[in-house]
Amino acid sequence: MNAETAVLCAPQRALDALIEFANDGMCGRCLPCPLATKQAIVTIERIIAGQGDEADLARLARVAAELVDAARCPKGEEAARALGESLRGSTEFERHVDGVCPEGTCRALTRFRIDPEKCTMCGACAEVCPRDAIEGDPYVPYLGDNHPYTIRELRCDGCGACVDVCEAGAIARVT
């Protein structure tokens, strides 16, 4: 799993578009536009970080409507239209608030599991894990109680480094 090559989820696409608008389009001439844009960015960042709730969804819908009213130029109108379409176009924002990133691109909402049937107990995943989130010991043939590899969810930040090194394909995303 590589976040750079993955398809971005709807909240991340909306965030990218808003940040691009804020950095390279928004002039700030009409005050409601930058205020609504900033609030939308902060709210989506909360949702992506796994801290969003129903109130954030309601706030985002309200801010999107405010942005439509505030827009006084084609760039502003386009930003407002894109955000509104993103919100209406899928259930992904709701899914994120429920703790699931359907595309697996939000690290805070991504969890992995090691399939013991596929795991060869090589230890490569534990070696690359930057969070020291994988427990287990390499396989020793004469031991009857080999310590299988498992992921400690609370430590894992969903970076996907373990998936990339597992030649057995034993690590899968859990949604």
Residues that bind ligand SF4 (CB under 6 A): 26-30, 33, 70-73, 75-76, 112, 114, 119-125, 129, 131, 133-134, 149, 151, 156-162, 165-166, 168, 170-171
Q: Nearest approach, Cβ of 113 to ligand SF4 (angstroms)?
A: 10
Q: Nearest approach, Cβ of 95 to ligand SF4 (angstroms)?
A: 20
Q: Nearest approach, Cβ of 171 to ligand SF4 (angstroms)?
A: 5
Q: Nearest approach, Cβ of 54 to ligand SF4 (angstroms)?
A: 28
Residue number, nearest CB to ligand SF4: 76
CB of 78 or CB of 94, closer to ligand SF4:
78
- Contact (CB, 8 A) for 134 and 149: yes
Terminal alpha carbon distance of the chain: 14
CB of 57 or CB of 73, closer to ligand SF4:
73
Measured CA to CA in angstroms, residue 34 lies from 10, 48, 93, 175 at distances of 22, 21, 22, 35
